[in-house]
Amino acid sequence: MDMANLRVGVIGCSGIGTTHASGIVGLPNVELAAGCDFVQSTLDAFKEKYQDNWDNISLYTNHQEMLAAENLDVVTVATSDHRHADLVVDAANAGVKGIFCEKPMATSVEDADRMMEATERNGTILSIDHTRRWQPLWRHTHDVIVGGGRIGDVQYVIGTLSGGRAMLFRNGTHLVDAICYFADSEPEWVSAELEDGYEDYNEYKGDGGHVPATEPSAHGYIHFANGVRGYYAGGPKTTLSGFRVEIVGTNGYILISDKGATLHQDDAVETIEAPSWDMTGIPAGVRELVGLVAEGGQPVSPGSEGYKVVQIIIGFLTSQQRDNGKVKLPLSGG
């Protein structure tokens, strides 16, 4: 990868922001130029962790000041679930070339619309951290096993998210994205039922993704334009923890979780072997984006895919408000 002195800034410098920065360690001519966080002690720890790699990291408590001063090429956003939109819009308007934004992309259609508009108008590459897209087992199963026609035409995708953190926005976004990844089409309509006790939950009322009680789990149905049907089975939060997907095609089915994947055809069961990558997950996503800024190309998890997920999740909330009925997508953010 030939990097021409790319300058990177991280907004939200606690655990996940620190992981973002790890994705560029060792890349020639790529500099961690700045970090921004509300909390000074978080900034100090961030700088200390990376000072052996870069000895001139500037620290900010205001992202606009950082954007104005640092002439950044790449910005990563690792703030709370409901605090991504302004940061992505402002970074795009400041002329940043690539943005790696944590999931969920946004917690309202209006915010997601603003992010799409600003990045498209400015020609900014936007990548959303639905992390399994940079896990070799998930990528290989998608590209080689399903993409290679091993189960024929995909007919439906069943995703299951369980456990105490089966919150629709916080972790459900990963499952909705996994369903979209394998459905490979536009969602046309949804219907859903939210967790008992959340009947009036008509917009995001979470605390940024920390306390599970601030957002519901859900069950939902997704109708895709190409005929694939998606089933989102999320919770209740009292189930044992789990994340798995079943992809059913005309010629077999796949069961995949983070622990492994199997291909089933009649009575035959084949273990799907993941290739080995030097870097996986979140750091690999950041590294992909930096490479795209240097060399061009499309992210594996572009803003347009994150946008579908926001539409589906808000569609689930809307369905709940309409007696669990059919909600046509896309919803407008007005």
Ligand X SMILES: NC(=O)c1ccc[n+]([C@@H]2O[C@H](COP(=O)([O-])OP(=O)(O)OC[C@H]3O[C@@H](n4cnc5c(N)ncnc54)[C@H](O)[C@@H]3O)[C@@H](O)[C@H]2O)c1
Q: Which residues bind ligand X (CB under 6 A)?
A: 11-12, 14-16, 36-39, 42, 63, 78-81, 83, 102-103, 129, 131, 170, 208-209, 282
Closest contact distance (angstroms) between CB of 215 and ligand X is 12
Nearest to ligand X of 77, 327 (CB atom): 77
Nearest to ligand X of 38, 277 (CB atom): 38
Nearest to ligand X of 16, 255 (CB atom): 16
Closest contact distance (angstroms) between CB of 77 and ligand X is 8
Asked if residue 330 has a cis previous peptide bond (ω within 30° of 0), the answer is yes
Closest among 305, 11, 294 to 133, alpha carbons compared: 305
CA distance 316 to 192: 5
Closest contact distance (angstroms) between CB of 4 and ligand X is 28
Query: Which residue intervals of the chain are DSSP H helices?
Result: 15-22, 40-50, 63-70, 85-93, 109-122, 136-140, 172-183, 281-295, 303-321
Strand partners, 256: 245, 261
Closest among 65, 130, 61, 109 to 91, alpha carbons compared: 65
Q: What single string gives the DSSP state of each residue in 317-333?
A: HHHHHTTT--EESSPP-
> Hey, what are 121's tokens?
């108008």
Closest contact distance (angstroms) between CB of 171 and ligand X is 8
**51 three-class SS:** coil
Nearest to ligand X of 42, 119 (CB atom): 42
Closest contact distance (angstroms) between CB of 14 and ligand X is 4
Nearest to ligand X of 104, 249 (CB atom): 104
Phi, psi of 243, rounded to the nearest 5 degrees: -145, 110
Nearest to ligand X of 36, 290 (CB atom): 36
Closest contact distance (angstroms) between CB of 281 and ligand X is 7
CA distance 293 to 289: 6
